[in-house]
Structure formats: C-alpha cells, structure tokens
Amino acid sequence: MSLPVDADLELDCRGQACPLPIVHLGRRHAEVPPGGVLAVVADDVAARHDVPAWCRMRGQEYLGEDVAADGVPRYWVRRRA
C-alpha cells in the first residue's frame, strides 16, 4: 500500500515526549472527516509503537510511516467512522 501524498490534517508533535503525541492525536482526529487522513510528525521514539496501538484500540486505520522533509518520522492514520 502506498502512503498518501497529503494529509487532511498534520499534527506537528516534534519535541513532545510520550504520551503527548497520542494525546493530540486522540483530541484532534475527529477534525478529519471519516475516510480522511491525518499525519502525526513526532520525534519521540515511543510514537512508532504508540500510533499503531492507538489505531487498533480506537478502530482507526494505521497506514504506515515515512519521514517528513526534515527527517522526522511521520505516521499516517485514516479516520474511520
């Protein structure tokens, strides 16, 4: 599966320690319509495990990981209804 080119919403969580990237994801994912995509850019190493785990627990679709222009990991999530 290829990753989206653009996100409907990108959360910049650089410099935020666990659990803040997941807190922001949980608070803001509803801003994206069902079927929409959001990206979480986070340099906290825990995000690599936390974002997919959050998706499983919340019934959202984890699309994968790539890197932002500055080399920071970016995690892709598709919002389900």
Nearest to 42 by CA among 76, 3, 80: 76
- Catalytically annotated residue among 18, 20, 68, 72: 18
User: Among residues 22, 9, 69, which one has the least CA distance to residue 48?
Assistant: 22
Active site residue 18: yes
DSSP per-residue string spanning 13-66: -TTPPTTHHHHHHHHHGGGSPTT-EEEEE---TTHHHHHHHHHHHHTPEEEEEE
- Known catalytic residues are 18
